[in-house]
Amino acid sequence: MSSTYKVLAIVVSLAALLFLPLVSAQEQQELNPVSKLDLGGSKVNGFVFTADGKFAFVSVSVGRESSVFLVAASTTDTTKFYGKKVRGCPIAGEVCLAQVRGNINPQDLAYNEEKKVLFIPGYDDDTLYISQVAFDKDGNPTEAKAAKKVAVGAGPRAVAVNAAGTRAFTVNEREHTVSVVDILYKDNAPDKGEVIATIKLDPDEENPTYPSPADIAIVGDRAFVVNTDTWKVCELKNINADSEKVKKGEEKIELGACVDTGAYPRAMAMLGNTAYVINSLGDSVSQLSLEPLESKAEVPVGDAPRGIATDNQCWVVVTNTGVDNPEGGRPSLSFLSADLSKSLTLSITAKEPGDPIVPTQVQVLVKEGAKEVWVLNIGARGEILIYPAPEAVQSCP
Please state, in angstroms and rounded to a whole number, the distance separating the CA atoms of residues 50 and 53.
5
- What's the order of all strands across the beta sheet hosting 274-279? 265-271, 274-279, 284-290, 293-300
Long-range contacts (CB closer than 8 Å, 24 or more residues apart) made by 333-336: 333/31, 333/302, 333/359, 333/362, 333/373, 333/375, 333/387, 334/25, 334/285, 334/301, 334/302, 334/305, 335/389, 335/390, 335/392, 335/393, 336/23, 336/276, 336/285, 336/299, 336/301
- At residue 18, the pLDDT reads 37
- At residue 12, the pLDDT reads 44
- At residue 1, the pLDDT reads 45
- At residue 273, the pLDDT reads 94
Burial of 65 (0-12, 13-18, 19+ CB in 10 A): exposed
Residue-wise burial string across 93-114, b where 16 or more C-beta atoms lie within 10 A, e elsewhere: ebbbbbbbeebbbbbbbbbbee
- What's the order of all strands across the beta sheet hosting 254-260? 213-219, 222-227, 232-237, 254-260
CA angle 169, 174, 180 (to 5 degrees): 15
Residue 230 is which amino acid?
T
- At residue 66, the pLDDT reads 60
From 8, 53, 88, select the one nearest 311 (Cα to Cα).
53
Sign of the C-alpha dihedral computed for residues 158, 58, 124 and 191 taken in this order: negative
Please state, in angstroms and rounded to a whole number, the distance separating the CA atoms of residues 92 and 94.
5
* Ramachandran sector of residue 249 (left: φ over 0; alpha: ψ -120 to 50; beta: rest): left
- At residue 5, the pLDDT reads 43
Please state, in angstroms and rounded to a whole number, the distance separating the CA atoms of residues 260 and 374.
29
pLDDT digits (tens, 9 = 90+) for 279-331: 999 999 999 999 999 999 999 999 999 999 999 999 999 999 998 777 667 89
Please state, in angstroms and rounded to a whole number, the distance separating the CA atoms of residues 281 and 58.
27
Contact assessment for residue 154 and residue 210, using Cβ atoms and an 8 Å cutoff = no
Fold (topology level) of 40-225+253-260: Methylamine Dehydrogenase; Chain H (2.130.10)
SS3 label, residue 93: helix
Q: What are phi and psi of 260, to 5 degrees?
A: -75, 145
Query: Which residues does the chain have with pLDDT short of 70?
Result: 1-28, 41, 64-66, 68, 70-79, 88, 90-94, 327-328
Please state, in angstroms and rounded to a whole number, the distance separating the CA atoms of residues 108 and 45.
7
* Entry pTM: 0.90
Please state, in angstroms and rounded to a whole number, the distance separating the CA atoms of residues 211 and 9.
17
Contact assessment for residue 340 and residue 300, using Cβ atoms and an 8 Å cutoff = no
- Give me the half-sphere count of Cα atoms (radius 13 Å) on the Cβ side of residue 201: 35
In the chain, what are the domain boundaries? Answer: 40-225+253-260
Contact assessment for residue 47 and residue 59, using Cβ atoms and an 8 Å cutoff = yes
